[in-house]
Amino acid sequence: MKKKLSLFLAFGFLSLHGAWAGVHYGLGTAVAHQSAVAIDAANDAAIASQRPVCTDAPYTVSPLDLTNGFNLEPLGHLAPYSHTLPTEHIYFLIVKSSADTTSYDVRAPADILITRVSSSELLFSTPTYKDYSIYYDACRGVNGYFHHVLHLSADLEAKLGNVDRNCSVYSDGSARVCNTDTAILVNAGDVIGNTVGRVGSNLVGVDFGTHDYRKAPLAFADPSRKGADQLHTVCPVDYFPESLRVQMEARLGTYDGSVHRTAAPVCGEYNQDIAGSAQGNWYVNGTPPGPVQQENATLALVHDNVDPTRGVLSVGQSVTASGLSSGPYYFTPSSMGLVNRDFGGVRDTDTYCYESPGLISAVILIQMPNSTTLKIERQGLASCGAGPWSLTSNATTFVR
């Protein structure tokens, strides 16, 4: 009897263990739960199928009024450690005086279906700072988003209701993020929100990203590190009619408009990976499998998004053993040799040395033991000299 009871309790414990999808009281409840998931998926698919077929230029209205003097920063912006890897969006930016609090409307670039609105509140700011991300479907297969919309339009806010739903706080307590799924149709040119200059800040603007599922996924060296949308990143500027596209392309460059990008592609590059070489995105050894959201433990060996003739070591917060601080380290690439070698040419197991004005009495060494592993180390040398150099146990290992 005791044996049977033990068997029964063991079965119950194993059955309720976390490997299962869920625990339900009654088969009817379990069926209802699964049916709800299936019906939600069917409803999402039905909404998506009702979106219009995309044209070559689905966007018809600039989301921010270009006559206000906005500059556009291309894809691939670097700002480690939050953006250690090249960004998947462009920026609409205006330089302003720190006291300027002018508001700029953000408009729907097409007849869009808003599918999600997220709020992000920075809890360490005093007072706390909150802004919104708006995600939308533009047409069948093309979606996009805006980040850093400071206020939602009154109309959108009324349709959304309470947006402080499905909230979570970052593990370090730095931010509170809430997500509201929705399905709100908005006409091209309608105001969906605004961005406002903050006192003390010299910039105002929004992030603008677009994904096109009609196109083949980007060929990252390790695609598993990117989400489905990210793999279909495109330049939003390319989705406007020619008259607008020409105006926007003329504004692609630095945040202040002082330097314009002229090298093709003028909208920059999100994916700069070259498999088998050092160029591209790297993830610190031990990074859990799957898409990487937080970029503090990553490394990008890429080119500048405005002047791609400049090389950049974009370093997150994980090269600590050798004391290399997070930051972008720029240099002028060389097409040969072991010093400041362009990353695309680093394809063997030699140790390469990099000098950058951002380094004070130090150099950066990299070495690839194999095609998917890269070691990096800061060493306290005044310059690279002629080499050879050897990495020590202080080197940090990245993989992809």
Residues in the site for other proteins, rule: CB under 8 A?
1, 4-5, 7-9, 11-13, 15-16, 20-46, 181
Q: How far is the CB of 21 from other proteins (least distance, A)?
A: 5
Closest CB to other proteins among residues 4, 286:
4
Give the angle subtended at the CA of 20 by the CAs of 16 and 21, to the nearest 5°.
120
Farthest-apart Cα atoms in the chain, separation: 84
- Dihedral sign for Cα 199, 247, 309, 89, please: positive
Q: How far is the CB of 265 from other proteins (least distance, A)?
A: 38
* Range 150-153 contact pairs with CB under 8 angstroms and sequence separation of 24 or more: 150/193, 150/194, 150/195, 150/196, 151/193, 151/194, 151/196, 152/117, 152/192, 152/193, 153/190, 153/191, 153/192, 153/193, 153/194
Closest CB to other proteins among residues 35, 174:
35
Q: How many residues does the chain have?
A: 400
Burial of 154 (0-12, 13-18, 19+ CB in 10 A): exposed
Q: How far is the CB of 44 from other proteins (least distance, A)?
A: 8
Closest CB to other proteins among residues 19, 336:
19
DSSP string, 353-378: EE--TT-SS-EEEEEEEETTEEEEEE
Closest CB to other proteins among residues 12, 380:
12
> Which tokens in the block code for residue 133?
């991300």
Report how far residue 232's alpha carbon sits from residue 223's, in angstroms, rounded to the nearest whole number: 11
Q: How far is the CB of 315 from other proteins (least distance, A)?
A: 42
Q: How far is the CB of 8 from other proteins (least distance, A)?
A: 5
Strand partners, 151: 194
Q: Residue 16: phi, psi to the nearest 5?
A: -90, 0
Contact in structure between 375 and 389 (CB atoms under 8 Å) = no
Q: Which of 161, 156, 203 is nearest to 184 (CA)?
A: 156
Q: How far is the CB of 1 from other proteins (least distance, A)?
A: 7
Report how far residue 185's alpha carbon sits from residue 175's, in angstroms, rounded to the nearest whole number: 29
Q: How far is the CB of 2 from other proteins (least distance, A)?
A: 9
Closest CB to other proteins among residues 45, 228:
45
Q: How far is the CB of 46 from other proteins (least distance, A)?
A: 7
Q: Which residues of 239-250 are buried (b: 16+ CB within 10 A; e: fewer)?
A: bbeeebbeebbe
Closest CB to other proteins among residues 5, 53:
5
Compute the CA torsion angle 157, 158, 159, 161 (nearest 10 deg). 80
Closest CB to other proteins among residues 42, 321:
42
Q: How far is the CB of 183 from other proteins (least distance, A)?
A: 9
Closest CB to other proteins among residues 28, 173:
28
Closest CB to other proteins among residues 27, 360:
27
